[in-house]
C-alpha cells in the first residue's frame, strides 16, 4: 500500500491507526476519576495511589522517542502489531490485578506499549498519504482526536466506574486491541525496515530513555516532594547527566537514535518547541480547571467530564478549518492563531470567581482554549512531518510527542506548585478555603497563559515556512537530507 493505493484503502488504514492512537490518549486520563474506587478495592496507600496514573505517564513519555526510532529501523507494521499486543495484554492484566503492585506494574507496561504505538501509527499515516492536502486532512483529524482524547477519558472513566466497575475501563481495551491486531495485516502496508543500517545505538537508547524517565518523574512528583527536596534535586541532576551523555553519544555514534542534524530543520525545531510550550499551558489548564471544578464547585467526576466537553467540541469543529488553513497558508498563521487562542482562554480563566457557574464563567474560557488546540496541535503535527523523509517519520513523531508530554508534565508541576504556595499563604492570613483555592488557581493560570504566549515569538522566529506545505521541500530541507540519509 502506497500513496497511489485506492482512496478507500488509505482511509480504512487511517481509521485503524486512529483507533490505536485514540486508545493511548484516552488511557492517559481514563483512570483519574476512578482512583478513589480503585484505592478502596485494592487497598492502596494514600501515597501509592497516584502511581496508577504516574506509572503510565512515565513509561509513555520516557519511551516515545525510542518507540519512534524502533519503528523506523525494524518495520512499522511489525512494530505496531507488537505494541498493540503489549498494550492489550497489559490492559487485561490491569483489569485482573489482585493487588496494587500488579496494577502499577501493568500500567507501566501499558504505557510502554502506548509509547511505541503512537509514533509508529503516526509515521504510517505519513507513508500512506502524500504530503499535501490529503495528508493535512488526515493529520487534522488526528490532531482533533488527540485534543479530545483526554476529555473523553475523563467522561468515559466516570461513566464506566459508576455503572460497570473500574475493571471495565481496562477490559474495554482488550476487544478493541484484538480487533485492531487482526485487521492490521489486511489494512496496513507491510513497510520495509531500514536494512541499510540495522545497528542499534544501545548506549544512546539507555541514556536518552533513562534521562527522559528521570526528568518526567522529577517534574511530575515535584509538587508532592517540593522543588528543593533532596529527591527532586537528585533526580533532576541525574536526568541532566544522562541527557548530556545522550547528546555526546549521539554526536559520535554511527547509528544514532536521534541524528542531531535533524534539528537543523527549522520547521521541525520550531514546531517541537511550540508543542512544548502550548502542551505545557493547555494540559496544565485541564489539570487546574479540573481541580477548581471538583474542589471549589464540588462537581462530580461525571459533571467535570461533561464540562470539559465544551472544550473538546470546538477542537473537533475547527479541525477542518485548521488543516485547510495550513494547506493554503502554511503552518505559521494557524500556529500563531492557536497560541493566541489558548493563551486567551487560559488568561480568561483567571477571572473565574470563587463560586462560578458553568455557562457564565467556565464555558467561555473552555471553548476558546479548546478551539486553540485545533489551531495549535494540527499545524504542529503537519509541520513536524512536512520537513522529513519517510525514513525519519517515526523519529519526528517521537520528538513531537515527547516534547508535548514533557511540556504537560512540566506545566502541571509548575502550576501545582504556584497554586499550592499561594493558597497556603492566603490561608495563613485567614482567608476562607474556597477563596484561597480559587486565588491560588488564578496565579497558576496567569503563569500558564504567559507560557502559551511564548509560543508566538517562537513561531515567528523559527516557523518561517509560511507557504502551502504541499509544495516541494525547501532548499534548507534538501541541504540537511544527505546528513539524515547517512544516519538511517
Same-domain status, 240 and 210:
yes
Last residue of a domain, one of 212, 229, 254: 254
What contacts 295, CB < 8 A, 6 or more positions away?
437
218-269 residue pLDDT tens: 877 777 788 889 999 999 999 999 999 989 998 888 778 788 888 888 888 8
- Alpha-carbon 480 to chain mean position: 27
The pTM of this model reads: 0.79
Same-domain pairing of 165 and 248: no
Same-domain status, 240 and 274: no
- Rounded to the nearest 5°, which phi and psi values hold at 216? -65, -40
343: nearest Cα among 361, 369, 362, 319 = 369
Q: Do the beta carbons of residue 38 and residue 99 sit within 8 Å?
A: no
The last residue of one of the domains, among 185, 210, 241, is 185
Rounded to the nearest 5 percent, the helix, strand and coil shares of the chain are 80, 0, 20
Do 244 and 266 fall into the same domain? no
Same domain, 335 and 225: no
Residues 277 and 382 in one domain: yes
Identify whether the C-beta of residue 152 lies closer than 8 Å to the C-beta of residue 164: no
Cell numbers for 118, please give them.
503512537
Q: What is the pLDDT of residues 173-232, one digit of tens each?
A: 999 999 999 999 988 887 655 544 556 677 887 888 888 888 877 877 777 788 889 999
> What is the C-alpha separation between 2 and 155, in angstroms, rounded?
37
Task: Kindly state whether residues 250 and 267 are assigned to the same domain.
Answer: no
Residues 90 and 32 in one domain: yes
CATH number of the domain bearing residue 367: 1.20.1250.20
Last residue of a domain, one of 211, 229, 254: 254
Q: What's the pLDDT at 464?
A: 63
Answer yes or no: do 9 and 158 share one domain: yes
pLDDT for 446 = 96
The number of domains in the chain is 3
Same domain, 421 and 342: yes
**Structural domain boundaries enclosing 39:** 1-185
Residues 6+ apart with CB under 8 A from 146: 21, 25, 377
- For 134, counting Cβ atoms within 10 Å of its Cβ (0-12 exposed, 13-18 middle, 19+ buried), the class is middle
Amino acid at each position: 500500500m502506497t500513496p497511489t493505493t485506492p482512496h478507500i484503502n488509505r482511509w480504512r488504514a487511517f481509521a485503524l491507526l486512529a483507533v490505536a492512537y485514540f486508545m493511548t490518549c484516552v488511557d492517559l486520563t481514563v483512570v483519574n476519576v476512578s482512583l478513589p474506587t480503585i484505592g478502596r478495592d485494592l487497598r492502596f496507600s494514600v501515597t501509592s495511589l497516584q502511581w496508577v496514573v504516574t506509572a503510565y505517564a512515565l513509561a509513555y513519555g520516557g519511551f516515545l522517542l525510542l518507540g519512534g526510532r524502533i519503528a523506523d529501523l525494524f518495520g512499522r507494521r511489525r512494530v505496531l502489531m507488537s505494541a498493540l499486543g503489549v498494550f492489550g495484554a497489559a490492559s487485561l492484566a490491569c483489569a485482573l490485578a489482585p493487588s496494587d503492585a500488579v496494577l502499577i506494574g501493568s500500567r507501566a507496561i501499558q504505557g510502554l506499549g502506548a509509547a511505541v504505538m503512537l509514533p509508529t501509527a503516526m509515521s504510517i499515516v505519513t507513508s500512506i498519504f502524500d504530503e499535501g492536502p490529503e495528508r493535512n486532512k488526515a493529520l487534522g483529524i488526528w490532531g482533533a482526536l488527540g485534543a479530545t482524547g483526554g476529555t473523553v477519558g475523563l467522561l468515559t472513566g466516570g461513566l464506566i466506574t459508576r455503572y460497570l466497575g473500574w475493571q471495565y475501563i481496562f477490559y474495554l481495551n482488550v476487544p478493541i486491541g484484538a480487533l485492531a491486531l487482526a485487521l492490521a495485516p489486511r489494512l496496513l502496508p507491510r513497510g520495509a525496515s531500514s536494512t541499510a543500517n540495522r545497528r542499534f545505538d544501545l548506549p544512546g537508547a539507555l541514556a536518552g530513555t533513562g534521562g527522559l524517565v528521570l526528568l518526567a518523574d522529577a517534574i511530575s512528583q515535584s509538587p508532592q516532594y517540593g522543588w528543593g527536596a533532596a529527591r527532586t534535586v537528585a533526580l533532576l541532576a541525574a536526568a541532566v547527566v544522562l541527557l548530556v551523555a545522550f547528546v555526546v553519544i549521539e554526536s559520535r555514534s554511527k547509528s544514532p537514535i536521534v541524528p542531531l542534524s535533524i534539528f537543523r530543520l527549522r520547521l521541525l525545531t520550531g514546531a517541537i518547541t511550540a508543542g512544548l510550550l502550548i502542551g505545557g499551558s493547555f494540559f496544565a489548564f485541564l489539570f487546574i480547571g479540573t481541580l477548581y471544578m471538583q474542589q471549589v464547585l464540588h462537581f462530580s467526576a461525571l459533571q467535570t467530564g461533561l464540562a470539559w466537553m465544551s472544550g473538546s467540541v470546538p477542537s473537533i469543529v475547527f479541525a477542518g478549518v485548521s488543516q485547510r488553513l495550513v494547506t493554503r497558508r502554511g503552518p505559521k498563521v494557524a500556529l500563531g492563531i492557536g497560541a493566541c487562542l489558548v493563551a486567551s482562554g487560559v488568561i480568561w480563566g483567571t477571572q473565574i470567581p470563587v463560586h462560578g457557574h458553568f455557562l457564565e464563567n467556565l464555558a467561555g474560557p473552555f471553548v476558546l482554549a479548546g478551539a486553540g488546540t485545533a489551531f495549535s496541535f494540527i499545524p504542529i503535527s503537519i509541520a513536524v512531518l512536512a520537513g522529513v523523509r519517510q525514513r525519519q517519520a517515526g523519529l519526528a513523531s517521537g520528538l513531537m510527542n515527547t516534547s508535548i508530554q514533557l511540556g504537560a508534565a512540566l506545566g502541571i508541576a509548575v502550576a501545582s506548585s504556584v497554586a499550592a504556595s499561594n493558597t497556603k499563604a492566603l490561608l495563613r492570613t485567614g482567608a476562607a478555603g474556597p477563596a484561597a483555592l480559587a486565588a491560588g488557581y488564578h496565579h497558576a493560570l496567569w503563569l500558564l497563559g504567559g507560557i502559551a504566549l511564548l509560543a508566538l515569538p517562537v513561531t515567528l522566529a523559527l516557523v518561517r515556512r509560511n507557504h502551502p506545505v504541499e509544495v516541494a521541500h525547501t532548499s534548507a530541507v534538501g541541504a540537511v537530507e544527505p546528513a539524515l540519509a547517512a544516519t538511517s
